[in-house]
Structure 1
Amino acid sequence: MHTSSVDSPPRPSAHRAAARAAGVLALCSTLLLVLVAARWSPLIDFDGDVSRTTHRWAVEERGVTQTFRILTDWVWDPWTMRILCAVVVVWLVWRRADWWTAGWLAAACALGTLVQQGLKAAVGRARPVWPDPVDTAHYAAFPSGHAMTAVVVCGLLLWLLRRHGVGRALWTTAVTVAVVSVVGVGLTRVWLGVHWTTDVVGGWLLGALTVALAVLAQLRWRPVNSPLAPTRTGDHPG
């Protein structure tokens, strides 16, 4: 029988891994927030260079631009993501009678929205302005609401799928869709000239931080007799 070496460190628990991830993400998010709020010159110059280049492409490639507008306004729109989250909440209550997980998911999504809107108001960063815009957007720029909402919803749903112990094919498909959605929505926002690159990066970081904090809460306070409660022998069932 194979035994692990006494010198090898113990495998960190899911709780500890989530806590470490939250700490790193909080540090990165805070650093970027400070640099954006302080209008750090190298960061502003980088944002400007990228935006001027992508806007030129957007004006020249009208077909790509129209496709990106459809994707960002309908497929990856924050309200589309919130509706998806709401559907899962209803399903959890109806099929599994899992009120705790349904409330946890709804609260985590709501927290992401509140953080997003609060930071937009606090930072007050202006969006890019063009003489020949290809799209328009409202509210302040930092962080990107599209990017942050996509990370929050996709991240939370992936966590639930993992805890549920879904099959490999479904898991691979879900991860692929989530990655394409998160990366794709960030690309469309910069391409369409309605966000700076660091707005999108900030949305990704803050969205991931929201997911990490939600996972911490789920691991710490979830009732042990609930349908998706962790088993005693591993970090997730199956």
Structure 2
Amino acid sequence: MPVRTTARRLRDSRRADRRFGARLLGAAAVAAVAAVPFALVLVLVEGHWQPLRRLDASAAMRLHRTALEHPAWTDTLRILSDWVWDPAVLRSLVAVLTLWLLWKRAWRLACWSAVTAVAGALTGMLVKSVVERARPSLEDPVAHAPGFSFPSGHAMTATTSCAVLLLVLLPMVPRAWRPVCWGVAVLSVLGVGFTRVALGVHWFSDVVGGWLLGAAVVALTGWAFEAWRTDVGRRRTELGEGLEPELTGAEPERQEA
């Protein structure tokens, strides 16, 4: 009997080592896939790559002309950018969600939500202060924004916040309605970026940088949460079912620790 127990422990240890190695490789792949595109955009921005500068300038001028010619359209963009998709509004939603998760005793999911939001905000501010890219300077501007331009804080916050809300709340949505939730989240993230360029307060590459950096933060924190699920013996989840499918009828996490 002791021999069998020792052999079983050895097999379990080898399986754990293989899982650990797989997670390390997976983490490296996630980091590369998520961060490399942002790093490429950053290099092109810092290197003043002419094709990117022409694309930025062309998008800015075309959308600016449209904004000047259609005041009602511009007012709608301001409402969407400054009220509906404002970073303070989105972060407040994530904060309320985090408090609700704490009330549900979903400690680790609440921690993931808070860390993802805070890490996204701090990372965005750090990159802005390092790059120090100036915002577009247009004649007869229709909107103004303080601070540096790259990456777009609105785009990055929308990416991280919509991802947190979606990945946490998705298990409580009927499967038939989940594609709608994904559509709303994607539309919100794309819409934020469009409003910032159309209002002339960001270059197109600022918005792309914000999307990519936000996605990198979510990918890395999401991978950490998935690694915890594996460590405690829970099954791996699919992207379409959220981070914690058990949340709808889960027992308090303190019983699993």
Structures share fold, TM-score greater than 0.5: yes
Q: 1:45 to 1:71 in 2, by over 3 A?
A: same
Residues 198-209 of structure 1 aligned to structure 2 (within 5 Å):
198-209=205-216
**Cα deviation per residue 1:138-179 (whole Å; 9 max; x = unaligned)?**
1100000000000001112222234x3631244223212211
Confirm or deny that 1:195 pairs with 2:202. Answer: yes
The CA distance in 2 between the partners of 1:58 and 1:88, in whole Å, is 35
Q: 1:231 aligns with which of 210, 228, 235?
A: 235
Do the aligned partners of 2:229 and 2:235 also contact (CA within 8 Å) in 1?
no
Deviation (angstroms), 1:19 = 5.4
Asked if 1:56 is matched to 2:93, the reply is no
Give the unaligned 5+ runs of structure 2.
1-21, 247-257
Q: Pick the aligned partner of 2:55 from 46, 50, 60.
A: 46
C-alpha distance in 1 between matches for 2:173 and 2:223? 21
Give the alignment partner of residue 68 of structure 1, picking from 77, 84, 108: 77
Amino acid at match of 1:99: W
Instruction: Report sequence identity in percent.
Output: 46
Q: How does 1:37-116 map to 2 (within 5 A)?
A: 37-94=46-103, 96-116=104-124
User: What TM-score does the superposition give when structure 1 sets the normalisation length?
Assistant: 0.85
Contact 1:25–1:209, Cα closer than 8 Å, also in 2: yes
Count how many residue pairs are aligned between Structure 1 and Structure 2. 220
Q: Which moved more, 1:48-57 or 1:216-225?
A: 216-225
- Residues 18 and 215 in structure 1, CA contact (< 8 A), matched pair in contact too: no
Q: 1:64 to 1:15 in 2, by over 3 A?
A: farther
Judged with a 3 Å threshold, the aligned counterparts in structure 2 of structure 1 residues 88 and 230 are, in CA distance, closer, same or farther, namely farther
| Cα distance in 2 for residues equivalent to 1:80 and 1:14 | 35
Question: Secondary structure, in 3 states, of the residue corresponding to 2:136?
Answer: coil
Q: Which runs of 5+ in 1 are unaligned?
A: 1-12
Establish whether residue 214 from structure 1 lines up as the match of residue 221 from structure 2. Answer: yes
Question: If you compute each CA radius of gyration, which structure gives the higher value, 1 or 2?
Answer: 2
What is the CA distance between 1:49 and its match in structure 2?
1.2
* Partners of 2:75 and 2:142 in 1: CA distance: 9
Amino acid corresponding to residue 129 of structure 1 in structure 2 = S
What's the CA shift string for 1:17-36, capped at 9, x where partnerless?
Answer: 77534321211110111111
Displacement of 1:217 in angstroms is 1.1
Residues of 2 paired with 1:178 and 1:15: CA distance?
Answer: 30
1 or 2, which has the higher helix percentage?
2
Normalised TM-score (structure 2): 0.79
Q: Is it true that 1:172 corresponds to 2:179 in the alignment? A: yes
Structure 1 residue runs of 4+, over 6 Å off? Answer: 13-18
Which structure exhibits the higher relative contact order, with contacts defined as CA atoms closer than 8 Å and separated by 6 or more residues? Answer: 1
Gap change, CA 1:101 and 1:179, over 3 Å in 2: same
| SS of corresponding position for 1:194 | coil
